[in-house]
Amino acid sequence: MGRLGRAGWFYVRTASEGWAPWWEQGNEHRFLLSRILFWVEFHFFGDLKFLLAMNVVLLLAISGVFSLLIRRSGMAQEGAVSPGALTLFIAGAAFSWMQQENLRWEVASQIYLAHLLPLLAFYWMARYCQTGRGGFFKAALVGGFLSIATMANGVATLPMLVLWALLYRLPARQILLTGFVSALAIWAYFHGYTSPHWARSPPGYWLERPVDVIQFLFAYFGAPFFHLTGSVNLAVGTGVFFVMTSAIGVIGTIARSVRLRRPGDPMLVAIAFFLVYVCASGLAAALSRAHIGLPEAFASRYATSTLLGWLALLLLAYAHRPLTRPWARWAFALPVFVAAGLLLNYSDPRPIVRTRQPLGHEIEGMNCLGEGIDIPDEILDVAGVLTTLCAICNRRGRFLDDG
């Protein structure tokens, strides 16, 4: 019965509370777009297979956007590895089983949407810089605005587009419009917002224990190597490497691209901005979850973000390899395919532990991605919730089988 969880409870509430549940907080997030998928699932299907299928569709879409970035950038023209091979590598790594908790969790769509929409927004802004076509600029603003309806991470997308507009010296009209849409999105997100005490570190924790927060941050970004080897020290060390090389790669890419006489490749800037977005998400996780303990950094649900961050970093490294030296064209190909083999043949060295709580706990808002709402005690009875849900479905001529 616990498989119904948050999605089923949301559907129950929409029948009696109208539009109110759609925009309310789930911990620090607002899952509007995912809730649309929840509603479609229980209104038309009811067996949760649609939500699982959407996880796959969204991951394929993320891989597709990466493929577009590769094919429309300079790396598609002079590469030892073909764009098709790079795309296959990206897709294979993006589906790595180290994120098995998200792939097997029916209501994980918000995690994929929180990366797909910002990536699309950065891609469309890059296309606008390449072509000057206003449609791409408008699409970037729409993608940035919709990002706030995924997870809290998405709030950063539009401010980053404002920074992009300033760095690329876009016309004043575009800069002002981007700033206005960004301010509107931030207001919409935080209007009526309340900070959930159970979903963040105690006030001042990062000042009192900065070493714990920094260690959590490095472990978060090195988590793929923990999943591969089970070594905490290796994970923290590779996390340090990730942060340092990301800083170098992002600063180098943006500095080269905003020069007046050498505008550079906007597609690489899009990848760099996405890498910044992933790093900002990791920092937010460290500031809000470090008090739980270092093992939280290795949670499988975080692996999606860190995997995509590593893929963005690898693409930047590949794009900036020295083309004047023939050996350098191939030097990067070997580690790419070795990494692909490791990711595709991954097996978790630790026993699988279910971290999702049964329905009652999710309703109480104790789950890390739960609804975070106050519910009368009598409603917490699982049988009562299921009875209500089945009654709604039967009234509409449907039978719900949660087995």
The full DSSP string for 231-255 is -HHHHHHHHHHHHHHHHHHHHHHHH
Query: Which residue from 96, 2, 84 is spatially nearest to 343, judged by alpha carbons?
Result: 96
> 361: pLDDT confidence band, cut at 50, 70 and 90?
very low
- DSSP alpha helix (H) spans, 258-349: 266-289, 303-319, 326-331, 333-344
Q: Which of 167-176, 296-305, 312-321 has the lowest mean pLDDT?
A: 312-321
- The answer, yes or no, to whether residue 364 has pLDDT greater than 80, is no
Query: Which residue from 305, 308, 302 is spatially nearest to 65, judged by alpha carbons?
Result: 308
8 Å CB contact between 12 and 389: yes
Distance CA 159, CA 293 (A): 31
To 10 degrees, what angle do helices 157-167 and 266-289 make?
140
Summary mean pLDDT of the chain: 77
User: Per residue in 140-150, pLDDT tens?
Assistant: 999 999 999 99
- The answer, yes or no, to whether residue 121 has pLDDT greater than 90, is yes
Q: Which of 62-71, 74-83, 366-375 has the lowest mean pLDDT?
A: 366-375
8 Å CB contact between 66 and 126: no
- DSSP alpha helix (H) spans, 132-222: 134-146, 157-167, 172-190, 205-208, 210-221
> Looking at residue 48, what is its pLDDT?
79
Q: How many CB atoms lie within 10 A of CB 348?
A: 14
Query: What is residue 102's three-state secondary structure?
Result: helix
Query: What is residue 204's three-state secondary structure?
Result: coil
- The answer, yes or no, to whether residue 353 has pLDDT greater than 80, is no
> Looking at residue 308, what is its pLDDT?
92
pTM greater than 0.85: no
SS3 content of the chain, % helix, strand, coil (to 5): 75, 0, 25
8 Å CB contact between 216 and 289: yes
Alpha-carbon distances of 63 from 119, 246, 275, rounded to whole Å: 10, 20, 15
Distance CA 119, CA 111 (A): 13
Distance CA 161, CA 154 (A): 12
Tokens 């908790």: give the residue: 101
Distance CA 223, CA 238 (A): 9
Domain ranges of the chain: 5-395
- Say which residue, 356 or 169, is predicted with more confidence: 169
User: Per residue in 325-350, pLDDT tens?
Assistant: 555 555 555 555 555 555 554 545 44
8 Å CB contact between 364 and 375: yes
> Looking at residue 42, what is its pLDDT?
83
Question: Kindly report the CA angle at 287 between 34 and 372, in degrees rounded to 5?
Answer: 40
Alpha-carbon distances of 238 from 244, 246, 283, 347, rounded to whole Å: 10, 12, 16, 19
Tokens 């498989």: give the residue: 3
- The answer, yes or no, to whether residue 94 has pLDDT greater than 90, is no
Six-digit token pair at 188?
Answer: 């919409």
Query: Which residue from 285, 43, 34, 30 is spatially nearest to 151, judged by alpha carbons?
Result: 30
Query: What is residue 28's three-state secondary structure?
Result: coil
- Say which residue, 237 or 367, is predicted with more confidence: 237
- The answer, yes or no, to whether residue 202 has pLDDT greater than 80, is no
Please provide residue 348's backbone torsions phi and psi, each rounded to the nearest 5 degrees: -65, 125
Please provide residue 310's backbone torsions phi and psi, each rounded to the nearest 5 degrees: -65, -40
Six-digit token pair at 376?
Answer: 């009368």
- The answer, yes or no, to whether residue 244 has pLDDT greater than 50, is yes
- The answer, yes or no, to whether residue 68 has pLDDT greater than 70, is yes
